[in-house]
Amino acid sequence: MPMIGPTPKNGSREAVRNLVGGPGAELTKPAGRRPVLLLSRDAAYPILNKFIAAEITATIRHIPIEVPLGSAEGMSQPCVGNCDNLRTISKIHLVKKVSRISQRRVHEAKRAKANTGQFPAP
């Protein structure tokens, strides 16, 4: 679901969609410009102007709320989407779409989101 830039026209019905990397999104301080993993449902992208996103970080703690990411997802180094740091991001702050995550990563993102205790288990 992470995405930067134009709204996706179509996609799977998964809750997790594209991976955003590179410059990523313009977040408020202290985050600044960084990659994000978008976690909103696919049907929301053409309609809504704000999306749920997890910050992507190179600080890997191997805890259940992390989604492992790497070169297969378009990232330059091993990193994780951290579901402890969920934000609502306005579409206008999404800068560039880097990649789309695999179905395996979609399931891992759903699991990580559920492990925060804020969302139902997949």
- The whole-angstrom separation of Cα 79 and Cα 15 is 21
Give pLDDT, residue 30: 57
Q: What is the pLDDT of residues 53-93, one digit of tens each?
A: 999 999 999 999 999 999 999 899 999 999 998 889 999 98
List Cβ neighbours of 23 (8 Å cut-off, separation of 6 or more): 4, 33, 35, 95, 96
Which position has the higher pLDDT, 12 or 93?
93
Whole-structure pTM value = 0.71
Domains of the chain: 18-115 (2.30.30.110)
Could you tell me the pLDDT band of residue 34, with boundaries at 50, 70 and 90?
Answer: confident
Mean pLDDT over 32-36 rounds to 80
